[in-house]
Structure 1
Amino acid sequence: MGKKVYFFTNLAPHYRQLLWLNILKNQENEYSFLCGKETSSGIKQIDFETEDFEPYRNRIEFLKNRYLKKKYLIWQSGAITKALSSKLDVAIITGDAWVITNWIISIILKLRGKKVVFWSHGIYGNEKGLKKFLRILFYRLAHAHLLYERRAKTLMSELGFNKHKLNVIFNSLDYEKSLSLRSKIELIDKKSALPFFSDAEKPTLLFIGRLTAIKKLDLLMNAYNQLLEKGFGLNLLIVGDGPMQNQLSTLVEPSIQNKSCHFYGPCYSEEKLAELISASDLCISPGNVGLTAVHCLSYGTPVLTHDNFYNQMPEAGAINPGKSGLLFKENSVESIVEKVEYWIFEQKLSREEIRKNCYKIIDDYYNPQYQIKVVNNLVNGNNPLL
């Protein structure tokens, strides 16, 4: 086996379970994980007790996260000891400057002659003053970077970072599961998938996620009402729950009564989510979009979100405007209305063409196989793939 590589990370989010498992299985290099075992964020964690992880448990170790300053800063007990003593060639560290020990272990590992890589969002472009200074200073500690999107690579290159040390790794969900479900969901008719609508054949707008203020769902509700007032026949499906549910449902109460708007509630079945997403015609995320974009594109459904990438999550870059979705002017109900009108009633792509466009970006980049290829390429000292 090739080089010994340690991942230092504060969390083990559940959506990365397939990726971590495939990294551990990889034969090109020997990968190990050091991660915080607990979190107060409410984020579901990887279950390392499953049978799949059993052969690799000796390469998974836990650190203790200690939260400081009202949980704004993190100290990882055990990280420094591992940085001082571990026999490794490359360390891939969560590029989070608010994890105080990340600064220290990066310096220790560099002094030991080890290669240090940060895996992060990189530069957003909206950083200013002290925050920008500290973030750039922190990123300078790494020999190379793994970044979620091409935009971050462009911004960091403009700040003087060597583009040959900036590797775009994208993001992924359970790609193997989505592949297995694709052929099944395409055979399900809309009436079966969306039985709660009085007319399931109408074009369906979708939101999927937590119903929180940051998602700006009032924009979607107001846009939907305006589209109905203009005479467009549309359904609206909301999947998820959260503190804004009562307020949002009040905005569309008449449509709930006539069964053209439905609050589905939370859904934890991937099979059912695949049906709901695939049967919808356009997912709309008025705030930042995040992994919802990857989720919807994985099942062939285009995505509409706002165009201000300073306030977006990296996964917004998965949308190919005009092919697999559109971008609207941030915070503009009128822009949402305009884009929905165009996409649903004017653009000429068939549903099958749209599905293929959505699948392509996922199959090319947003999957664990591509991510592992990027990691191995970096560890082995090659120039970035993109």
Structure 2
Amino acid sequence: MTSRLPRTCRPMSSRHSIRRKTRTERTRPCTTGYDAAMIRVGLVQALIPHYREPVFKELASREGIDLTMYADLGARHGSLHGARSGSGFTVIDAKERYIGPLLVDPATIRAARGGHDVLVMSWRTRSLLMPTAIRMARRRGAAVVVWGHGYSKYDTPRRTRMRMRVARDADAYLTYDPVTAERLVEGGLDSNRVFCAPNAIDQGPIENQRRWWLDRPDELVRFQQEHRIDPEKTLVFISRIEPDKRLDILIEAMKHARAADPSMTLVVIGDGSAREQSEDLARRLGVEDGVRFVGPIYEEKRLAAWCLSSFCFAYPVAIGLSAMHAFGYGLPVVTSDDIGGHNPEIHAIRPGHNGLFYKDGRVEDLAAKLLQLSRDRDMQHRMSQEALGTVTGPDGWTLTNMVDGFERCIRAVARMRGKD
């Protein structure tokens, strides 16, 4: 069994035909100087991170979609670096800035004036210009979609009201996951206006490197021998090492786990402001031999070797797209049961199937879950298969299904406005 998406989030191929640019499509009479069969889509983003490029490229390849992106080219937000150009779609450089906690994003106004049939905006409650841009775009005949998490990790009734107030004039709401979409409907939104595009990454590079190593088992064994690791006792953490990642919880859990099984080993891949503090904690707890800091690794082939030499991916709090990366290697995910404190990808994890939840903040319980999985080879194998199926199966969190969600939403609102 794999994590299945609700009917409204499943592949378009099961309910609609996916239209790509190899098909001919009936055109309407056109007197405005553009192909009336095309839906002119404007999509506003703060930046275009590398993992989003395949999504937008695939969306632009769909039949009848003419995509223009508005983003701050080359921008950097935290550890994210934005692309400087796009492939397969038009990109317009649009800067943004903050005044205290409030966002000034003139790209929304520029996009509203761009003559698009459908305008997709990031659902950002701190935007000063977004409500004006939505009304402006609709007056000009565009359908408007707001795309985002649809919730905050630190939600309050006031924050929820602000979020809905900012987007109240939108034609549709596009979420990152099906659970949030269902909650928006339960909260009173029209189900015909709520869509989801399950947040996914391009699994192609991961699958290529996974297959490279699995086709060369002797090479993988040599890697494991070189690094003195037992894949049935090794877990991996891959992330920036920052205070909010709470690597300290995982290191403390390793003290308890190694007390029961000294062969347990944690491999930490990444760098950041909390690395030195984390290494010091491992020394103070006496687990420095069982917690290896290997630094940042950006080459997928090297990452693949470590992932294929581990029995699970452990991420103490606030997991996001890292879960999709882990699942691509068939790694079950162990993380906290504080669902509201995670990103939308938490809803892809099914405890007992492709991962395990520990009681939030309880290092002893985290250690127990890691030991449980390390000792049960049948569970490891079963969960590994389900983890892989979560991001490769027809009803899974795949790039195709994500773009299907976008396309379904775009075509629906275009029909509302008589554009399709």
TM-score, length-normalised on structure 1?
0.89
1:372 aligned onto 2:420: no
Deviation, 1:208, is 0.6
Cα distance change of structure 1 residues 125 and 47 upon mapping to structure 2, 3 Å threshold: closer
In 1: Cα distance, 2:326 partner to 2:337 partner: 18
Residues of 1 paired with 2:271 and 2:107: CA distance? 37
**149-158 or 208-217: which moved more?**
149-158
- Equivalence for 2:385: 356
In structure 2, the partner of 1:65 is 96
Of the structure 1 ranges 170-179 and 191-200, higher mean CA displacement relative to structure 2 is found in: 191-200
Within the candidate set 311, 316, 324, 2:341 is matched to 311
Q: Residues 123 and 155 of structure 1 are in contact (CA less than 8 Å); yes or no, is this contact kept in structure 2?
A: no
CA drift at 1:314: 0.8
Rate the CA distance shift 1:177–1:169 in 2: closer, same or farther, 3 A. Answer: same
| Structure 2 SS opposite 1:252 | helix
> Paired residue for 2:245?
215
Query: What is aligned with 1:83?
Result: 112
**2:355 matched residue in structure 1:** 325
Matched, 1:249 2:286: no
Q: Does 1:118 align with 2:149?
A: no
Q: Which has the higher contact order (CA 8 A, sep 6+)?
A: 2
CA deviation vs aligned residue, 1:7-37 (integer Å, no higher than 9, x gap): 1122211211111222222223222111122
Match of 1:36 in 2: 72
How many pairs align? Answer: 370
Do residues 145 (structure 1) and 173 (structure 2) align?
yes
Structure 1 segment 268-307 matched on structure 2, within 5 A: 268-307=298-337
Q: Distance in 1 between matches of 2:133 and 2:225?
A: 54
> Which of 99, 120, 123 in structure 2 is aligned with 1:95?
123
The verdict on how the C-alpha distance between 1:231 and 1:349 changes in structure 2, with shifts beyond 3 A counting, is: closer
1:48 matched residue in structure 2: 85
Compute the RMSD of aligned alpha carbons: 2.2
* Structure 1 position 116, deviation (Å): 0.7
Specify the SS of the correspondent of 1:380: helix
CA contact (8 A) 1:37 1:62 kept: yes
Segment drifting more, 103-112 vs 191-200: 191-200
* Structure 2 unaligned residues grouped into runs of 5+: 1-36, 414-420
**What is the one-letter code of the residue matched to 2:72?**
G
Q: Is the 8 A contact 1:191 1:200 kept in 2?
A: no
CA-CA distance at 1:173 after TM superposition: 2.1
One-letter amino acid of the structure 2 residue matched with residue 6 of structure 1: G
CA distance in 1, matches of 2:261, 2:92: 59
Deviating more after overlay: 183-192 vs 23-32: 183-192
For residues 63-90 of structure 1, the C-alpha deviation after alignment (integer angstroms, 9 at most, x for no partner) is 1212221xx3222235324413x22211
Contact 1:202 1:233 in 2 (8 A): no
Matched letter for residue 53 of structure 2: Q
2:184 equivalent in structure 1: 156
Q: Secondary structure at the match of 1:161?
A: coil
Separation in structure 2 between the aligned mates of residue 175 and residue 376 of structure 1, nearest angstrom: 20
Equivalents in 1 of 2:335, 2:159: separation in Å?
27
Indicate which of 40, 46, 55 corresponds to 1:4: 40
1:176, distance to aligned residue in structure 2 (A)? 1.9
